[in-house]
Structure 1
Amino acid sequence: MSQQRLLGLHWGIKASFMDYIAAMPDSRASAVDGATPAAGNLLVWEPAGLPVPEADDADLLLAFRGEVRLSGHGGLLSVRVADPWITARGGEAVLTILDPSRADPGRRLQLARLTLETRPASGRLRIWLSKDVRLAEEGTALFNDVYPAGEQMEPLAVFLPTPHDNEEGGA
């Protein structure tokens, strides 16, 4: 896989949910505007690019772009995960997405809480991992309250170019 295809947020949301969607006879799935399906249930959201949004009092903000839509049951089940951002403060991090209701276009929905571990840079990549990604209280409605707050979601990984690579136009 080229480094360009490796860049971004790699996350499978929730494997059992993705399998459930795939098994429905009328299921629909799409990944657009910077989101790409990868092997298995894995999805990749590309880096949002510059300028990076500001996050008040955050130690780190990792912003991504792209939209994944999943639906079934004649449209009664509809899930939209768009433009995920990871905001870290201290040892805690949250993953937010654009509010799927679209009532307020700029509003973000807290989807998951996670621990974010920095890994040593590998070549020209900065790497963050999280094995403990848990559904946030606010995120339960996205799944029609089927999963409770604290439900284990899929682990995630982030791969971004080193700042030096960004200055030279990316990797």
Structure 2
Amino acid sequence: MNQYQLQWGIKDSLLGYLRGIEDGLIEADFPAAFEGNLFTFSEDSAASNFDAETATGTLQFQGTAKLSGHWGMMNIVLKNPLIELQNGAGTLLIAQGGILTPETFVPLVKLERIGDSNEYRTSLTIEGRLVLGEQYQVGQELNSLAIKTL
């Protein structure tokens, strides 16, 4: 059985902006990692059911990406990404993370497989726009993401 890893840089201009402000912070909570311009999330294989050939099923990943700045006024938390795909198209959701609703997921971006590759185009959902602080428009393309086989 394959083990998968999610790699995603979210949005280059957003990361660049945070690097340019005095209190900009880009970090990952274990088991996620951040290096260069990519967040890497490890799969929770017990919670996943995915067929790589057809790009169909669910992939549950673990870890948290955190982006913050402006002395706490900007605070973006992307926790435990969940990918749901049907024939190469679907959604990346993130855990809402509240104490009362830890298992509630919010759709962040729509996904569309790029050819037969392991990369997917991303476009922002209505909910995703709110998560990112309304900096971007619904449907706006963010960085493509990759689902890597380990």
TM-score range with shorter-chain normalisation? 0.7 to 0.9
Query: Contact conserved, 1:11 with 1:43, CA < 8 A, in 2?
Result: yes
Partner of 1:134: 123
Query: CA 1:100–1:149 in structure 2 vs 1: closer, same or farther (change >3 Å)?
Result: farther
Q: CA deviation at 1:109?
A: 0.8
Deviation string, structure 1 residues 21-79 (Cα, Å, up to 9, x no partner): 111101122211211112x311111111324379xxx9311221110111110100000
Q: 1:71 & 1:85 partners in 2: Cα distance? A: 22
- Aligned residue for 1:75, secondary structure, equals coil
Q: 2:118 & 2:49 partners in 1: Cα distance? A: 19
* Residue correspondences, number: 144
Query: Contact conserved, 1:47 with 1:160, CA < 8 A, in 2?
Result: no
Structure 2 residues not aligned, in runs of 5+: none
Write 1 or 2 for the structure with the bigger share of helix.
Answer: 1
Q: Does 1:146 align with 2:135?
A: yes
Structure 1 residues not aligned, in runs of 5+: 1-5, 120-126, 162-171
Partner of 2:65: 68
Q: 2:65 & 2:142 partners in 1: Cα distance? A: 16
Q: 1:61 & 1:69 partners in 2: Cα distance? A: 23
Q: 2:86 & 2:66 partners in 1: Cα distance? A: 29
Query: CA 1:20–1:36 in structure 2 vs 1: closer, same or farther (change >3 Å)?
Result: same
Partner of 1:30: 27
Q: 1:101 & 1:135 partners in 2: Cα distance? A: 22
Partner of 1:77: 74
Write 1 or 2 for the structure with the bigger share of strand.
Answer: 2
TM-score normalised by structure 2 residue count: 0.84
Query: Contact conserved, 1:69 with 1:81, CA < 8 A, in 2?
Result: yes
Q: 2:136 & 2:112 partners in 1: Cα distance? A: 20
Q: CA deviation at 1:139?
A: 0.6
Q: Does 1:50 align with 2:46?
A: yes
Query: CA 1:158–1:90 in structure 2 vs 1: closer, same or farther (change >3 Å)?
Result: closer
Question: Percent same amino acid at aligned positions?
Answer: 26
Deviation string, structure 1 residues 98-128 (Cα, Å, up to 9, x no partner): 1155552111010000112574xxxxxxx72
TM-score normalised by structure 1 residue count: 0.75
